[in-house]
Amino acid sequence: MTDTRQRLIDFISAEAVFHGDFVLTSGKKATYYVDMRRVSLDHRVAPLIGQVMLDLIQDVPDVVAVGGMTMGADPIAAAVMHQGVARGASYDAFVVRKEPKDHGRGRQVEGPELAGKRVIVLEDTSTTGGSPLAAIEALQKIGAEIAGVAVVVDRDTGAREVIEAAGYPYLAAISLEDLGLS
């Protein structure tokens, strides 16, 4: 394990894991909640997220952009983009809205032109795989090629199986075990 990855795990464990009774986006109930925005929007942690996610996706060939459903994926994509530049990589970032805008250009996917380009769909934490699949659907409508799904924290609640059953590689940087939650 790299020092950077361990530092990220330590920050997530200390500042983003909450215990209690929670309802997740999926509607499922949980006794803990990993609030990644507590760390993904923190100036100390965002660079670590970018570095760890770059390590995770570095062997996926020909990827030109990263992003996912707003809001959870937005800071992750920005961190990957900025840390990529620091390493000499050129990943652009994109944002997928829940619905196309009803004004302006009416876009659902914001950012660079992605038709015919390979992208990785990002997620901060995964539960059911629904958010990445929704992002994939919107990206396919504009002609993007999906190279895979990469998540910061995998809750080990079936997202991997759903994503892989849909035919996409699934990469996870941190497990529940890493966070002492398994």
Question: Using one digit for the tens of pLDDT, what is the confidence trace for 41-72?
Answer: 999 999 999 999 999 999 999 999 999 999 99
Please give the mean pLDDT across all residues of the chain. 94
Question: Using one digit for the tens of pLDDT, what is the confidence trace for 113-172?
Answer: 999 999 999 999 998 899 999 999 999 999 999 999 999 999 999 999 999 999 999 999
- According to DSSP, the β-strands at 29-34 and 17-23 are antiparallel
Residue 121's DSSP bridge partners are 67, 149
Give how far the C-alpha of residue 43 lies from the chain's centroid of Cα atoms, to the nearest Å. Answer: 18
pLDDT category at 26 given cuts 50, 70, 90 is confident
DSSP assignment, residue 141?
Answer: H
Cβ distance 77 to 42 under 8 Å?
A: no
The structural domains of the chain, ordered by start, are 50-175 (3.40.50.2020)
Report pLDDT for 2: 81
Amino acid at 77: A
Report pLDDT for 105: 66
- CA dist 4 and 140 (Å) reads 34
Quote the percentage of the chain above a pLDDT of 70: 96
- CA dist 149 and 135 (Å) reads 10
Report pLDDT for 106: 62
60: buried, middle or exposed (CB in 10 Å: 19+, 13-18, 0-12)?
Answer: middle
Cβ distance 53 to 77 under 8 Å?
A: no
Q: Per the confidence metrics, is the pTM higher than 0.85?
A: yes
Report pLDDT for 124: 97
